[in-house]
Amino acid sequence: QVQLVESGGGLVQPGGSLRLSCTASGSIFSINAMGWYRQAPGKQRELVAAIIGDGRTNYADSVKGRFTISRDYAKNTVRLQMNSLKPEDTAVYYCNADLYSTPGVRNRDVWGQGTQVTVSS
């Protein structure tokens, strides 16, 4: 019904930058929020950043001041600009959407397949 396609992962050195993008397609009436989660080996998946319909954003404390989330409402795309990357940012990053496919039909758990981000010298 709805698909999230992610891109932008890769290998970068500490202090470098990377930009992730995620585009939602399929049956979409409206999007309430989109966000990024990450999961490192041996750890639980955690929220990195989210943006809701009125433009408000939330960030994990560990990425505040370094990461910026934004949305292109016309293209159903969310982006995550990642600056000053640290080795501890290494993880698989997953895009998430909370949306209505049709009026009254809400899906809070639409996920992308994930993209690997590795920060290493």
What per-residue string of b and e applies to 25-53 under the rule 16 or more CB within 10 Å gives b? eeebeebebbbbbbeeeeeeeeebbbbee
- Between β-strands 67-72 and 105-111, what pairing exists: parallel, antiparallel or unpaired? unpaired
Confidence of residue 1 (pLDDT cuts 50, 70, 90): confident
pLDDT tens readout for residues 85-113? 999 999 999 999 999 999 999 999 899 99
Q: What is the mean pLDDT of residues 34-38?
A: 97
Mean pLDDT of 48-57: 94
